[in-house]
Structure 1
Amino acid sequence: MVFGEKLRTERNRKGWSQEELAEKLYVSRQAVSKWENGQNYPSIEIVIKISDLLELTIDELLRSDEELKRKVIKDGRKLAYPRLKAACDILFLVGAVLLALKLGVLALNKLTSYEVELVGGRFFWNFASLILMVGGGVGAGVLKEKYKTD
């Protein structure tokens, strides 16, 4: 049984009209009708609410409908992508800040009589910014390829 048929059957078993289910889900009656007729699918958040309202597992709702399973998986990837991308961007920015600090201190030492010493060792200041910037950039590139829209 596909999702739409399962939804209609379980809604009728509860004795609810499309309008009543729509009110419980905070959607329009037309949305419920489209789901039941297979013209559209709900978001994963709505699938979870439907599961709770109809006292079914998400597996019972999704398992029989391959297209809905693909949509839920694709939606899940879209939710994960921004967080991972933000982490890569932060790595890149931290590397850029370290590089800017190093260049600023070098310029200060060259152009003035100050002798500011960089704490943390030469290896850290020579390679940390490079490693962070390359790691963040490569990670962002890999994510972009992995989560490209079809």
Structure 2
Amino acid sequence: MDFGEQIKNIRQKEKLTQEQFAMKLNVSRQAVSNWENNKNLPDIGMLILMSDVFQISLDYLIKGENEMNNMTEKVIKDGSETRRAKYNMVCSIIGSFLILIGIILLFVKGLSVEYIDAQGVLHENFFLVPIGFLCVFSGLISFITVGITTIISKFKNRNS
């Protein structure tokens, strides 16, 4: 049974019209009609509200009667998209931080004074250049990785 049929069965079991069902959930009658006709699906917050209002377990509401339905697929897809978005955000923050550190290191190297002391030893912060470039390069790689994975996932979603 798909999610639309399940919602319709719950509504009919409660002996409610679409309008009455919608009023209990604070949504429009059109929203209920769209759910029943599988034109769109409610979000997780609405599922929790339905579970509370009609005393139905979320497990039954999402999975139905021991089979995969369109709501189960939506919940799984939403979960993976949320994880991907968090991953992309973390990688972007790390990349930004690395680029900022690299630029600061290169700036400090540019401002530092190089001198030769009385014993003829050169004093220079030479290590700042490779570390600065490594940080900038790593940050750019992070941004490129996030961009490529985002493009690939959008391309896969469009073909699905």
Cα distance in 2 for residues equivalent to 1:143 and 1:57? 35
The residue matched to 1:19 in structure 2 has which SS?
helix
1:126-141 equivalences in 2 (<5 Å): 127-135=134-142, 137-141=144-148
Cα distance in 2 for residues equivalent to 1:124 and 1:107? 14
Cα displacement string for residues 47-67 of structure 1 (whole angstroms, at most 9, x for unaligned residues) = 232222222222212324522
The residue matched to 1:16 in structure 2 has which SS?
coil
Corresponding residue number in structure 2 for 1:10: 10
User: TM-score, normalization: structure 1?
Assistant: 0.72
Q: CA deviation at 1:102?
A: 0.8
**1:77·1:147 contact (CA, 8 Å) conserved in 2?**
no
Corresponding residue number in structure 1 for 2:110: 107
The residue matched to 2:145 in structure 1 has which SS?
helix
Say if 1:32 and 1:43 are closer, same or farther in 2 by CA, change over 3 A: same
Cα distance in 2 for residues equivalent to 1:61 and 1:98? 49
Say if 1:126 and 1:5 are closer, same or farther in 2 by CA, change over 3 A: closer
Structure 1 gaps of 5+ residues are none
CA RMSD of aligned residues (A): 3.2
One-letter code aligned to 1:134: I
The residue matched to 1:41 in structure 2 has which SS?
coil
One-letter code aligned to 1:104: F
Q: CA deviation at 1:79?
A: 3.0
Q: CA deviation at 1:117?
A: 6.4
Cα displacement string for residues 112-131 of structure 1 (whole angstroms, at most 9, x for unaligned residues) = xxx9969xx86865645544
Say if 1:116 and 1:25 are closer, same or farther in 2 by CA, change over 3 A: farther
**1:92·1:137 contact (CA, 8 Å) conserved in 2?**
no
1:1-150 equivalences in 2 (<5 Å): 1-63=1-63, 64=67, 66-109=69-112, 127-135=134-142, 137-146=144-153, 148=155, 149-150=157-158
Say if 1:27 and 1:108 are closer, same or farther in 2 by CA, change over 3 A: same
User: TM-score, normalization: structure 2?
Assistant: 0.68
Q: CA deviation at 1:88?
A: 0.9
The structure having more radius of gyration, on CA atoms, is: 2
**1:91·1:133 contact (CA, 8 Å) conserved in 2?**
no
**Length, aligned pairs only:** 145
